[in-house]
Amino acid sequence: MLACDFGNLKSEIDMVNNSKADWFHIDVMDGVFVPNISFGTPIMNVFKENAKKTLDVHLMISSPDDYLEKFSQLGADILTVHFEACPHLHRTVQKIKDLNLKAGVAINPHTPVSFLKSIIGDLDLVCIMSVNPGFGGQSFIKNTFNKVRELRNLINDHNSSAIIEVDGGVNSNNAKKLIECGANALVAGSFVFKSKNPSNTISELSSIIN
Ligand code: ZN
């Protein structure tokens, strides 16, 4: 939703409600962990009140532990924290689960998939960043395909049920290959919201991957 028109947030949310999208992916940025600020709790409230699908909240913030309960109250169904922002990742993941939410971990482009080996069995979702987080509209990093394959193997080897989500620069050119490499969830922002007919674009992406 980072790429949507915030001046018309309710109608953008309605468009997604009525589209073939499965989830709302909400990027929260603090200007510290990433070089940009997106929005805070008042906007989250608008999603809570209007969105009729799963709220997948991606916390691109330092010290996410301080905000887990707040985002739970704000209607998050999935809370994803960054590997690079959590010195006590296992504890953070347990806190998310104690809130009865799905727990996700995101890894930046420079972070190896193998760093998740000891935690993969505890995760509901892994988000592979296919751009450097902080801004919408960036181009897709091709090494992501290898990381998705590697993560699929890691998940299978550990009998984990974690979903593989790819976030950044997803479009109709890379979507099919990402699914073939083992991804389950694709986050599309600018490709959808900057297109002429976002709802049709979502349908097109959906038909490519299903
Ligand atoms: Zn995201």
Q: Residue 4's CB: how many other CB atoms inside 10 A?
A: 21
The predicted pLDDT at position 137 comes to 76
Annotated catalytic residue: which of 5, 27, 122, 157? 27
Q: Report pLDDT for 186.
A: 97
- Please, which pLDDT band fits residue 110 given cuts at 50, 70 and 90? very high
Residue 167 among the catalytic residues: yes
The ranges assigned to domains in the chain are 6-209
Centre of ligand 1 from the C-alpha of residue 165, in Å: 9
Q: What is the pLDDT of residues 170-191, one digit of tens each?
A: 999 999 999 999 999 999 999 9
Pick the catalytic residue: 30, 56, 124, 167?
A: 167
Note if 27 is an active site residue: yes
How many angstroms does the Cα of residue 58 sit away from the middle of ligand 1?
Answer: 5
Convert the pLDDT of each residue in 123-176 to its tens digit. 999 999 999 988 777 889 999 999 999 999 999 999 999 999 999 999 999 999
The per-residue pLDDT for range 50-94, each reduced to its tens digit, is 999 999 999 999 999 999 999 999 999 999 999 999 999 999 999
Q: What superfamily does domain 6-209 belong to in CATH?
A: Aldolase class I (3.20.20.70)
- Those residues whose beta carbon sits under 5 angstroms from the ion ligand 1 are 27, 58, 167
Determine the distance separating the centroid of ligand 1 and the alpha carbon of 98, expressed in angstroms. Answer: 23
CA of 170 to the centre of ligand 1 (A): 11
DSSP letters for 63-96: SGGGGHHHHHHTT-SEEEEEGGG-TTHHHHHHHH
The 102-107 sheet, strands edge to edge: 23-29, 54-60, 78-82, 102-107, 125-129, 163-167, 185-187
